[in-house]
Structure 1
Amino acid sequence: MPITIRHFESAVSRVLSSAHFINTHSQDVFVPQDGVKRAASQILRRMQSLGYSTADWKKHTLTPSIADAHAVEWIFLVDALNFSFWCDQPPSRQYSVTLDGKTYRGYWTLCAAVNRALAEGIPITDARYYAVASDEELARVFRGDEGTEPMPMLRERIMVLREVGGVLVEKHGGRFANLLARCGGSASGLVDLVAAEFACFRDEHEFQGRPVAMFKRAQILVADIWACFEGKGLGRFEDIDSVTMFADYRVPQALCHFGALEYSPRLWEHLRESEKTLKQLGEAKSPGLLPSGHPWEVEIRGNSIWAVECIKRCMEEEGTHVNAILIDFYLWDYSKEHSEEMKEIPIHLTRSINY
């Protein structure tokens, strides 16, 4: 039976039209065009000097080095759980995972935990396992180093595994690759399928009386498959350039750093005070976090998507074709490598399964 797509307009098209709408109706987040032009020039120059490409995805120690069917299931699992890694604890107590003598934090803890489980003989990338695994089993898979806090939003991650695992087992033979085969080589089509099949991937909100879409995890899932396979075989998508950036909490910080994103004084002050309150009271007691769907949160994410789209267009005007995926990948890597340099730029902290 064919899958019913929830919207006549493709999910990817909705993301870009939503970003434009948010940009033109924002009150506290802006995309200055002079800043975009300078950012585009700096980012392009840096990417070219590094020879930045899809090959960089597999250079990371923890990502699959071989593009095969197992890699597809690994990517789906990781992107199903790719959300909310920020911690409010001191570094010594932050959730961390040590693998092969190296300690990881943030997003990389997820990858390290998955790889550790596989090394221990736990079939964590098999939907038939994680759809029915007990809370205790899954908690062990994602256990942190001794003395550190538990994985953020562990309960929500277990719920996500149950949901996506159940759908894959019941409708797709327990393999995401079977769903991938149905997209017909279309990135936009795959985002549509993922959003239609899995409720937890539907990253949608309301802004100024209109529904808007971000679809961060659904799009990064497509992008990771494309990057892993370097645009070939299972990762060949004819319309890959239609995918937008992936609106999270790290890339906006980098966009502010490069001058392609600006916050109003009142939003900037709120975020700075939120950081201070968080450090003083801890996550559970802090009143300063932006809730998911808050107008400021939507403005930050939507304008980030639009800023990267504008940067991409500036690069094209200069005769260089770089899609939003590679720009996003570069900015995320940059934000991690230059975190100390950008520490004065506040990060909006939102607990959400969307990113």
Structure 2
Amino acid sequence: MPVPSVEQQQQQQEKEITGPCLEVLASAEFINQHSQDVTVPALGVQQAAMTILEHMQQANYTPATWRTHTLNPQTADDSALEWIFLVDLLNFSFWTAPQETPHTVTVDGICYSGYWALPAAIRRAREEDGGLDLTDARVYQSIGRQQWAHVMRSDAPKARMPMLDERLEVLHQAGQLLCDKYDGKFANLLRECGGSAERLVRRVVREFPSFRDTHEFQGRSVALYKRAQILAADVWACFEGQGAGCLEDVERLTMFADYRVPQTLVYFGALRYSDGLRDGLARMQREGGELPSGHPWEVEIRGNSVWAVECMRRHIRKTTGQDVSAVLIDFYMWDYAKAHATEMQEIPIHHTRSVYY
């Protein structure tokens, strides 16, 4: 194994001092400063910030809103923690290509697609598949390919969950590590983080390969850590900032750079795509093309999304004195995108197959 250079050692020491969330913010600012096809217009950010703040206030949008989603845990206990870890372990790449049949799962008479098909399948496994508790690391560290495919089966015979095999590999890796180091419990890992969102993000990024959401951009390594940060945010929201969810530095978490929230940011005017980028994404969406992971367009979209939400958060604080976390802004915009998909369908979504989001 090669010995890190002095410069690499210094960079690693800086990361340990500043923390992974500040590392993401620094990466986002760098991406914003060196982007060619995505911009964060100041006036658009200001208008979007106040509009979204008003919407959130009208909806009384708080961490407690997280539990209003019926598939989310309705209790705040260790079983909820294991559920959160499992779901965020697999929380990536749910979009459906134009030529594909959407993956759907029906439970309690409701048909779920996209992200929600995942927790629906987990519930179905417990209720219909012999009481299989997929949240148990001792179960998923060794679950077989055939059983995994059955658990994640779609209502439509020809449809399948995207990246099924990659998800299985992620499960096996994480399950084995949890069993080897934490007695099979994410709750034990969380307790070692001492009530810090930063330490939780750092721990999972260091120990679980699929959380290492880093890329090369303009000659520099940039970090976005979408799933690691949303893991901390989900713990905080589930427990409403109490008990295991009392993460003292949760306000340091950034927006979670995926493929859905950027669409919402464009819709509200906080993000702007060049004509070339917009046309290219629209063409890919029509023809079923994909943007490769690490492509400059992908990094620009994700990095500028993080920076746009940070600028919105700062504008809200400067204008109103309110400290609204990037977590709640992100959660609200994701919910908004799902509820107003038809209104925003003319804004193309970037399609990248990746375990990072």
TM-score, normalising length from structure 1? Answer: 0.94
- Asked if 2 retains the 8 angstrom alpha-carbon contact of 1:312 and 1:323, the reply is yes
Distance 1:177 1:303 in 2: 33
Q: Structure 1 CA distance, aligned partners of 2:97 and 2:210? A: 25
- Answer yes or no: is 1:271 the counterpart of 2:272: no
Q: 1:1-355 maps to which residues of 2 (within 5 A)? A: 7-8=15-16, 9-89=18-98, 93-120=101-128, 121-278=131-288, 288-317=289-318, 318-355=320-357
- How many angstroms apart in 1 are the aligned matches of 2:150 and 2:347? 35
Distance 2:162 2:176 in 1: 23
Report the CA distance between 1:59 and its aligned residue: 0.3
Say if 2:98 and 2:285, in contact at 8 Å, map to a contact too: no
Deviation at 1:277, TM superposition (A): 1.2
Return the alpha-carbon distance in structure 1 between the equivalents of residues 172 and 269 of structure 2.
Answer: 41
1:46-101 Cα distance to aligned partner (Å, 9 max, x none): 0000000011100001000001000000000000000000002479x311000011
The letter of the residue matching 2:300 is: E
Instruction: Note the alpha carbon deviations across 1:202-234, whole angstroms, 9 max, x for none.
Output: 000010000000000000000000000000000
* Letter paired with 1:304: S
Contact 2:98 2:286 in 1 (8 A): no
**More displaced 10-residue stretch of structure 1: 80-89 or 331-340:** 80-89
Partner-residue secondary structure (3-state), 1:190: helix
Q: Which amino acid counterpart does residue 307 of structure 1 have in structure 2?
A: A
Q: Secondary structure at the match of 2:111?
A: strand
What amino acid is the match of 1:172? Y
Q: CA deviation at 1:146?
A: 3.3
The CA distance in 1 between the partners of 2:339 and 2:99, in whole Å, is 19
- Alignment-mate amino acid for residue 65 of structure 2: D
* Matched-pair contact (CA < 8 Å) for 1:96–1:148: no
Tell me how far apart the structure 2 counterparts of residues 229 and 160 of structure 1 sit (CA, whole Å). Answer: 26
Q: Is contact 1:94–1:148 with CA below 8 Å preserved after alignment? A: no
What is the CA-CA distance between 1:147 and the residue it aligns to? 2.8
Q: Output the amino acid matched with 1:315.
A: I
The one-character-per-residue Cα deviations of 1:279-309 (angstroms, maximum 9, x if unpaired) are xxxxxxxxx3210100110000000000000
**What SS class does the counterpart of residue 178 from structure 2 fall into?**
helix
CA distance in 1, matches of 2:126, 2:244: 23
Q: 1:13 and 1:41 mapped to 2: Cα distance?
A: 25
**AA matched with 2:218:** Q
Query: Structure 1 residue 123: deviation in Å?
Result: 1.7
In structure 2, what is the Cα distance between the partners aligned to 1:292 and 1:146? 29
1:198 Cα deviation from its structure 2 partner: 0.4
Does the CA contact (< 8 Å) of 2:255 and 2:309 recur in 1? Answer: yes
Rounded to whole Å, the distance in 2 between the matches of 1:28 and 1:350 is 17
Quote the offset at 1:148 in angstroms.
4.3
Partner SS for 2:353: coil
- What do the CA deviations read for 1:209-264 (whole angstroms, capped 9, x no partner)? 00000000000000000000000000001100000010000000000000000011
In structure 1, C-alpha distance between the alignment counterparts of 2:124 and 2:77, rounded to whole Å: 19
Name the SS for the 2:292 alignment partner.
coil
The secondary structure found in structure 1 opposite 2:332 is helix
Matched-pair identity in %: 56
Size of the aligned set, in residue pairs, is: 341
Shift of 1:338: 0.4
Which one is further off, 96-105 or 139-148?
A: 139-148
Q: Do 2:96 and 2:102's aligned partners in 1 also have CA atoms closer than 8 Å?
A: yes
SS in 1 for 2:216: strand
- Measured at CA, do residues 293 and 130 of structure 1 come closer, stay the same or move farther in structure 2, by a change above 3 Å? same
CA distance in 2, matches of 1:230, 1:55: 6
Q: Secondary structure at the match of 1:166?
A: helix
Is the 8 Å Cα contact of residues 204 and 228 (structure 2) preserved in structure 1? yes
Partner SS state of residue 205, structure 1: strand
Secondary structure of the structure 2 residue equivalent to 1:169: helix
Give CA-to-partner distance per residue, 1:121-168, whole Å, 9 cap, x none.
Answer: 102100011001111111111111133411110000000000100100
Distance 1:175 1:207 in 2: 36
